[in-house]
Structure 1
Amino acid sequence: MFRFERRARTRRALVVTAALAVVAACVFMCSMMLGSYLLGPAEVLRSVLGLSAEPSVDFIVRELRLPRAITAVLAGLALGAAGSIFQRVLRNPLAAPDIIGISAGASSATVAGLVLFGAGGFGLSVASLVGALVTAAAVYLLAWRGGIADYRFILIGVGVAALLESVTGYLVSRAEISDARAAMTWLVGSVGMAGEGEIIGLAIGCGVVIPVLMALSRRLGVLELGADGARGLGVRPQAETAVQLGCAVVLVALATAAAGPLAFVALMAGPIAGRLLGPAGDRVLPAALVGAVIVQTADVVAQHLLPYPISTGIVTGLTGAPYIAWLLIRNSSPTDSRSER
Structure 2
Amino acid sequence: MPGGLSVRVEPRGAAAVAGLVLLTLAAGIVLIGSGDFPIAPADVVATLLGDGTAAQEFVVQDLRLPRVLVAVLVGAALGLGGAVFQSLTRNPLGSPDMLGFGQGATVGALTVIVVFQGDATAVAGGAVVGGLVTGAAVYLLAWKRGVHGFRLVLVGIGVAAMLTAVIHYLLTKANLVDATRATVWMTGSLEGRDWTQFGPLLAVCCVLVPVVLAYGRPLRMLEMGDDAAYALGVKVERTRMVLMGSAVLLVAAAAAAAGPISFVALSAPQVARRLTRTPGPNLAASLLTGAALLLIADWAATNAFGERQLPVGVVTGVVGGVYLLWLLVTERRAGRI
Structures share fold, TM-score greater than 0.5: yes
The yes-or-no answer on 1:304 pairing with 2:303 is yes
Partner residue in 1 for 2:216: 217
**Aligned in 2, Cα 1:217/1:123: closer, same or farther, shift over 3 Å?**
same
- Are 1:121 and 1:195, in contact at CA under 8 Å, matched by a contact in 2? no
Alpha-carbon shift at residue 334 of structure 1 (Å): 10
User: For residues 231 and 78 of structure 2, what CA distance do their matches in structure 1 show?
Assistant: 32
Alpha-carbon shift at residue 202 of structure 1 (Å): 1.1
- Are 2:215 and 2:239, in contact at CA under 8 Å, matched by a contact in 1? no
Which residue identity lines up with residue 262 of structure 1 in the other structure?
A: I
- Are 2:87 and 2:281, in contact at CA under 8 Å, matched by a contact in 1? no
Once the two structures are superposed, what CA deviation does each residue of 1:119-153 show, in whole Å capped at 9, x if it has no partner? 34543333222111111111111122223232222
User: Which ranges of structure 1 fall in alignment gaps of 5 or more residues?
Assistant: 1-5
User: For residues 47 and 180 of structure 2, what CA distance do their matches in structure 1 show?
Assistant: 34
User: For residues 335 and 59 of structure 2, what CA distance do their matches in structure 1 show?
Assistant: 56
Partner residue in 2 for 1:332: 332
- Are 1:195 and 1:258, in contact at CA under 8 Å, matched by a contact in 2? no
Using the aligned pairs only, state the percent identity.
Answer: 37
Query: Which range moved further: 115-124 or 295-304?
Result: 115-124
**Aligned in 2, Cα 1:280/1:333: closer, same or farther, shift over 3 Å?**
closer
Partner residue in 2 for 1:272: 271
Partner residue in 1 for 2:111: 112
Q: TM-score scaled by structure 1?
A: 0.90
Which residue identity lines up with residue 273 of structure 2 in the other structure?
A: G
User: For residues 291 and 101 of structure 1, what CA distance do their matches in structure 2 show?
Assistant: 19
User: For residues 335 and 327 of structure 2, what CA distance do their matches in structure 1 show?
Assistant: 17
Partner residue in 2 for 1:34: 34
Once the two structures are superposed, what CA deviation does each residue of 1:85-117 show, in whole Å capped at 9, x if it has no partner? 000111110000011100110111012223333
Partner-residue secondary structure (3-state), 1:23: helix
Partner residue in 2 for 1:80: 79
User: For residues 321 and 19 of structure 1, what CA distance do their matches in structure 2 show?
Assistant: 26
User: For residues 65 and 193 of structure 2, what CA distance do their matches in structure 1 show?
Assistant: 11
- Are 2:24 and 2:288, in contact at CA under 8 Å, matched by a contact in 1? yes
Alpha-carbon shift at residue 292 of structure 1 (Å): 0.6
Partner residue in 2 for 1:103: 102
Partner-residue secondary structure (3-state), 1:98: helix
User: For residues 281 and 165 of structure 1, what CA distance do their matches in structure 2 show?
Assistant: 32
* Structure 1 segments (4+ residues) deviating >4 Å: 6-9, 333-337
Partner residue in 1 for 2:62: 63
**Aligned in 2, Cα 1:281/1:136: closer, same or farther, shift over 3 Å?**
closer
- Are 1:122 and 1:197, in contact at CA under 8 Å, matched by a contact in 2? no
Once the two structures are superposed, what CA deviation does each residue of 1:138-173 show, in whole Å capped at 9, x if it has no partner? 111112222323222212211211211221222223
Once the two structures are superposed, what CA deviation does each residue of 1:269-306 show, in whole Å capped at 9, x if it has no partner? 11111111122666111101100111111110010011
User: For residues 336 and 86 of structure 1, what CA distance do their matches in structure 2 show?
Assistant: 18
Partner residue in 2 for 1:204: 203
Structural mapping, 1:112-151, within 5 Å:
112-151=111-150
User: Which ranges of structure 2 fall in alignment gaps of 5 or more residues?
Assistant: 1-5
Once the two structures are superposed, what CA deviation does each residue of 1:204-227 show, in whole Å capped at 9, x if it has no partner? 111221111111101111111111
**Aligned in 2, Cα 1:333/1:119: closer, same or farther, shift over 3 Å?**
farther
Which residue identity lines up with residue 81 of structure 2 in the other structure?
A: A
- Are 2:63 and 2:194, in contact at CA under 8 Å, matched by a contact in 1? no
Between the two proteins, the alignment pairs up a number of residues equal to: 331
Which residue identity lines up with residue 21 of structure 2 in the other structure?
A: A
Query: Which range moved further: 58-67 or 302-311?
Result: 58-67
- Are 2:67 and 2:190, in contact at CA under 8 Å, matched by a contact in 1? yes
Partner residue in 2 for 1:3: none
Structural mapping, 1:154-193, within 5 Å:
154-193=153-192
Alpha-carbon shift at residue 118 of structure 1 (Å): 3.5
User: For residues 172 and 165 of structure 2, what CA distance do their matches in structure 1 show?
Assistant: 11
Q: TM-score scaled by structure 2?
A: 0.91
User: For residues 334 and 24 of structure 1, what CA distance do their matches in structure 2 show?
Assistant: 32
Alpha-carbon shift at residue 185 of structure 1 (Å): 0.7
- Are 2:13 and 2:278, in contact at CA under 8 Å, matched by a contact in 1? no
Partner-residue secondary structure (3-state), 1:117: coil
- Are 1:100 and 1:161, in contact at CA under 8 Å, matched by a contact in 2? yes
Query: Which range moved further: 263-272 or 60-69?
Result: 60-69
**Aligned in 2, Cα 1:322/1:84: closer, same or farther, shift over 3 Å?**
same
Query: Which range moved further: 301-310 or 40-49?
Result: 40-49
Partner-residue secondary structure (3-state), 2:70: helix
The yes-or-no answer on 1:10 pairing with 2:10 is yes
